[in-house]
């Protein structure tokens, strides 16, 4: 794969096509070709991975701005063709983005992901060393008309990723014994205990669940929303994520712990 900027009209048209392939043609958050062009000209990162035949196999899109008087980068979108998934192409695109941000003098890259997607939690928090910075209920509205995301609120974690690899967050390899669960393995709401550490379970594949049992998927959404909003408002942080065959568990700990 060759990873490079999307510099031509054909490149950007291919990017729009890949967005529609990934999230559906009715996806309300699609980035049009004109905005891809503008972002690249104003300090954004608009890049794709191309195979030997010149076909776009994945892309990353982000914009650069200012937060709290500090230059930051917001990585808004990343997608990889289904047949290329599992080959770490997304991580390669993120590495390209990180290198470009380093050239711009950016110290931190932010993006969002659905806390209920176990594979993305593992990728973002464990493999890449990002940290969960904020939980936002219905960040992009109550639905995005995307078959991938299902017809339910778009709650998201905002994660912060250090451009300097030396500042990456350490992964969480195992859960402590006797961990109280604020959300259990069947999406039941456990007690909101004031313990040094608590766990929040998530399912293995929320997209597949939403396609077959929307009520069950929504139960997961609202149970985890209850837990995350409560604990993050009471001085807890997301320490990490431990993936398993049934999904995984977020570990939340008090800041002083």
Residue closest to 182 by CA, chosen among 191, 174, 173, 194 = 191
Phi then psi dihedrals of residue 213, to 5 deg: -150, 80
Question: Given a cut of 60, is residue 144 above it in pLDDT?
Answer: no
pLDDT tens per residue across span 225-235: 999 999 999 99
Residue with tokens 């959404």: 221
The rounded distance, in Å, linking the Cα atoms of 73 and 110 is 6
The rounded distance, in Å, linking the Cα atoms of 77 and 29 is 10
Question: Given a cut of 60, is residue 53 above it in pLDDT?
Answer: yes
Strands 247-254 and 236-244: antiparallel
Domain borders along the chain are 2-167, 181-254
Residue closest to 93 by CA, chosen among 135, 123, 134 = 123
Category of 156 on φ-ψ map: left (φ > 0), alpha (ψ -120 to 50) or beta:
beta
What's residue 177's pLDDT?
87
What's residue 257's pLDDT?
47
CATH top class, domain 2-167: alpha beta
The reported pTM is: 0.88
Q: Which region among 97-101, 105-109, 172-176, 248-252 has the lowest average model confidence (pLDDT)?
A: 172-176
Average pLDDT score over residue span 131-140: 93
pLDDT tens per residue across span 110-128: 999 999 999 999 999 999 9
pLDDT tens per residue across span 146-158: 555 557 899 999 9
Render the chain in DSSP notation, one character per residue. Answer: -EEEE--SHHHHHHHHHHHHHHH-TT-TT---HHHHHHHHHTT-EEEEEE-TT--EEEEEEEEEEEETTEEEEEEEEEEE-GGGTTSSHHHHHHHHHHHHHHHHT--EEEEEE-TT-HHHHIIIIIIS--EEEEEETTTT-S--S-TTT-SS---EEEEEEESSGGGPPPP---PPTT--EEE-TTS-B------SEEEEEEES-HHHHHHH-HHHHHHHHHHHHHHHHHHHHTTEEEEEEEEETTEEEEEEEETT-
Average pLDDT score over residue span 59-86: 95
Average pLDDT score over residue span 53-68: 96
Higher-confidence residue of 81 and 256: namely 81
Other beta carbons less than 10 A from residue 167's beta carbon: 12
Residues 6+ apart with CB under 8 A from 80: 49, 57, 58, 89, 90, 93
pLDDT tens per residue across span 4-47: 999 999 999 999 999 999 988 888 889 999 999 999 999 999 99
Q: What percent of the chain has pLDDT over 90?
A: 82
Average pLDDT score over residue span 177-192: 92
Contact 130, 159 (CB under 8 A): yes
Average pLDDT in the chain: 93
């Amino acid at each position: 794969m060759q990873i490079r900027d999307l510099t031509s009209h054909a490149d950007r048209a291919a990017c729009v096509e890949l967005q529609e392939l990934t999230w559906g043609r009715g996806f309300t958050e699609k980035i049009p070709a004109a905005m891809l062009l503008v972002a690249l000209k104003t300090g954004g990162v608009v890049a794709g991975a191309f195979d030997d035949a010149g076909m776009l196999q994945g892309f990353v899109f982000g914009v650069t701005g200012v937060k709290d008087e500090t230059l930051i980068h917001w990585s808004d979108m990343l997608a990889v063709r289904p047949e290329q998934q599992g080959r770490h192409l997304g991580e390669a695109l993120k590495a390209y983005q990180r290198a470009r941000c380093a050239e711009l003098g950016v110290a931190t890259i932010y993006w969002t992901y659905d806390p209920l997607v176990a594979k993305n939690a593992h990728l973002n928090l464990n493999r890449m060393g990002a940290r969960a910075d904020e939980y936002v209920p219905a960040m992009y509205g109550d639905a995005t008309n995307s078959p991938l995301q299902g017809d339910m609120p778009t709650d998201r974690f905002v994660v912060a990723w250090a451009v300097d690899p030396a500042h990456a967050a350490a992964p969480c390899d195992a859960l402590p014994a006797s961990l109280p669960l604020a959300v259990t393995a069947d999406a039941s709401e456990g007690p909101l205990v004031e313990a040094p550490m608590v766990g929040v379970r998530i399912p293995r594949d929320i997209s597949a669940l939403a396609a077959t049992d929307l009520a069950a998927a929504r139960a997961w959404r609202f149970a985890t929303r209850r837990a995350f909003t409560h604990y993050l408002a009471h001085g807890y942080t997301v320490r990490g994520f431990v993936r398993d065959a049934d999904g995984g568990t977020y570990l939340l700990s008090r800041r002083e712990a």
